[in-house]
Every structure is written in structure tokens, then in C-alpha cells.
Amino acid sequence: MRRLEATVAIVLGLILMFAPILSSGLFGQGNDGTATVIGAFILLVGVIVLAFKKDVTKSKLCRVCGKQLPEGAAYCDRCGNIAR
């Protein structure tokens, strides 16, 4: 799950949590709380994903010596091999 998907999950969770409360206040209907619980769960999942998401940095490996190279490297600084 990416950052955008986690943010959408948080927003959807907030909407599901508070929409029944607002509609019951406006229209006088009863609320059994199911949507609020589901919204809280979706919100929790989105927060957990954002909190524990690891940044994935792209890097290359040198084909000759195996050293990890940064993304923009043209040559390996250890053996001089051309990085592709």
C-alpha cells in the first residue's frame, strides 16, 4: 500500500466514522454504530501503514563486484565498471 492509498484509507475512515453521527443529528435517525466501528478500523489501518511504511530507494548493484550503487551512478567507484 502506498502513501496515497493510506491517505485515502484515513479519509474514508473519517467519513465512515462521522457520517452516521452527523446524519443522525440532522435527521433524527438512530445509529447502531456499525459504520463508526468500520470507519475506525479503516482509519487505524491507514495510520498503521503510514507509520510503518519504509521508504524504498532504488539502487543498483555492480555486476562485477556486487557493490550497491546509488540510482544516478554511471560507474562503480570500487571497480570502475559501467553501471547499467
Check pLDDT > 80 for residue 11.
yes
In the predicted structure, residue 82 carries a pLDDT above the cut 80 = yes
Burial of 46 by CB count in 10 Å (0-12 exposed, 13-18 middle, 19+ buried)?
Answer: buried
25 versus 58: the higher-pLDDT residue is: 58
Q: Which of 9-18, 25-34, 72-81 has the lowest mean pLDDT?
A: 25-34
- Cell numbers of 55, please? 521508504
With CA atoms as reference, report the closest residue to 20 among 41, 34, 40: 34
Spatial CA neighbour of 1 closest among 42, 35, 39: 42
